[in-house]
Amino acid sequence: MARLVMRTRSKPYPIEIGGETKFICGCGLSANQPFCDGTHKLTRDEQEGSLFWYDADVQRKELAHAFPNIRTPSE
């Protein structure tokens, strides 16, 4: 089953593994899950309060107020 999941984080989570820092994707767009590949940089100019989705070619689409009651995760 497919789900629409809201992600509001626009940067990775740094974690320490064996003395080395790794970055875990926080935006959900990385093609190298669970690791960050820098794709979060595409989200920098998203407008607060708007809803966007990204297609398979990582092209942004806006869903203007299409899901006004979508649950927002706490960060």
Average pLDDT for 39-51: 87
pLDDT score at 61? 86
Structural domain boundaries, residue 20? 1-75
Three-class DSSP category at 52? strand
- Domain total for the chain? 1
Rounded to two decimals, what is the model's pTM?
Answer: 0.72
3-state SS, one letter per residue, for 3-45? CCCCCCCCCCEEEEECCEEEEECCCCCCCCCCECCCHHHHHCC
Percent of the chain scored above 90 by pLDDT?
45
Identify which of 30-34, 58-62, 63-67 has the greatest average pLDDT: 30-34
pLDDT bucket at 75, cuts 50 / 70 / 90: very low
Identify which of 1-15, 22-36, 43-57 has the greatest average pLDDT: 22-36
